[in-house]
């Protein structure tokens, strides 16, 4: 039977979808919006460990010791041990694993998060800080297991958040695209196929008069309120949803992975 999706005042009915197995990644050329672009920051995860000059594993967006956020309906506590780098990719693993935070809060899941700054005193020395006019893009393979909640977004202490995407596999072809700055809007974009079935480039142009979202190089949504922010950091995470936002069933596995082989920032030259 179709399930309903509820968020930002919207209700959308969608049929269930069969989720495909994951093939191997192949590094692909960056599809970019029209114009001439220069790369101003990037990580291709070519080493054997996370680059601590570019990323931290803490985020001030998480209320419990900068690593857990149950009030936002996230079941996981983020730990560095759930991150690995090798073969040209970052792997974030969510595990059904008990963990107790410093304040005594119990979690049934652990996962991982990387951020380029605004991170509770653990900010990297060469992290990205994006501003109006930047285009940000990730090349990623998303998990297709129920309860997983991968995302790529901007954030700073003022909450200047643009969600390049959020994904819930119970709606296999749907991406959530949201501009939280300046009273911005949200869009549920139906791709027409199972997003978790392959690698994809997902990006957003942070313009002063428009935030524009791209899926594999194709413009899919624009919010003309623009990026009303003086700048923000980048966050990539694999959350585990408790179902409150999406009528989603609980996780149906004991682990799942999000793969990333690049995160980049561009500016028109």
pLDDT at residue 260 in the model:
98
Kindly list the distances between the CA atom of residue 264 and the CA atoms of 8, 179, 252, in Å, as whole numbers in the listed order. Answer: 28, 19, 32
Nearest in space to 160 (alpha carbons), one of 88, 210, 65, 234: 234
pLDDT at residue 17 in the model:
35
Question: Mind listing the pLDDT tens digit for each residue in 124-138?
Answer: 999 999 999 999 999
pLDDT at residue 4 in the model:
34
For residue 247, name the pLDDT band (cuts at 50, 70, 90).
confident
Nearest in space to 112 (alpha carbons), one of 76, 166, 62: 76
pLDDT at residue 26 in the model:
54
Question: Mind listing the pLDDT tens digit for each residue in 116-127?
Answer: 998 898 889 999
Reported for 120-123, long-range contacts at CB under 8 A and 24+ positions apart, including other chains, are 120/58, 120/59, 120/60, 120/65, 120/66, 122/56, 122/57, 122/58, 122/66, 123/56
Question: Mind listing the pLDDT tens digit for each residue in 75-107?
Answer: 999 999 999 999 999 999 999 999 999 999 999
Question: Mind listing the pLDDT tens digit for each residue in 42-58?
Answer: 999 999 999 999 999 99
Q: What's the whole-model pTM score?
A: 0.90
pLDDT at residue 266 in the model:
98
Nearest in space to 5 (alpha carbons), one of 160, 189, 141: 189
**Apex 219 CA angle, 216 and 128, nearest 5:** 70
| CB 124 within 8 Å of CB 117 | yes
Average pLDDT rounded to a whole number, residues 182-201? 96
Residue 10 has pLDDT above 50, yes or no: no
Share of the chain above pLDDT 90, in %: 80
**Average pLDDT score over the chain:** 90
Average pLDDT rounded to a whole number, residues 199-224? 97
Neighbours of 32 (CB within 10 A): 19
Six-digit token string for 243: 């179902």
């Amino acid at each position: 039977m179709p399930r309903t999706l509820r968020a930002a005042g919207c209700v959308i009915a969608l049929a269930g979808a069969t989720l495909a197995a994951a093939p191997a990644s192949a590094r692909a050329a960056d599809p970019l919006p029209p114009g001439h672009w220069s790369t101003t920051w990037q990580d291709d995860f070519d080493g054997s460990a996370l680059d601590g000059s570019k990323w931290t594993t803490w985020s001030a967006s998480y209320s419990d010791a900068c690593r857990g956020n149950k009030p936002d309906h996230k079941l996981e506590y983020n730990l560095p041990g759930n991150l690995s780098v090798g073969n040209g990719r970052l792997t974030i693993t969510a595990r059904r694993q008990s963990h107790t935070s410093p304040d005594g809060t119990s979690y049934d899941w652990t996962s991982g998060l990387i951020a380029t700054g605004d991170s509770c005193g653990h900010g990297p020395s060469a992290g990205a800080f994006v501003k109006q006019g930047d285009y940000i893009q990730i090349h990623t393979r998303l998990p297709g297991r129920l309860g997983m909640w991968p995302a790529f977004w901007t954030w700073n202490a003022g909450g200047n958040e643009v969600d390049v995407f959020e994904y819930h596999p119970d709606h296999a072809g749907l991406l959530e695209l949201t501009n939280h700055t300046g009273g911005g809007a949200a869009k549920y974009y139906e791709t027409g196929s199972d997003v978790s079935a392959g690698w994809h480039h997902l990006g957003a142009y942070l313009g002063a008069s428009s935030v524009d979202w791209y899926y594999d190089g194709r413009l899919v949504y624009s919010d003309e309120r623009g990026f009303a922010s003086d700048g923000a950091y980048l966050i990539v995470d694999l959350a585990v949803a408790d179902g409150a936002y999406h009528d989603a069933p609980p996780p149906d596995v004991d682990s799942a992975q999000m793969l990333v082989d690049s995160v980049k920032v561009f500016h028109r030259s």
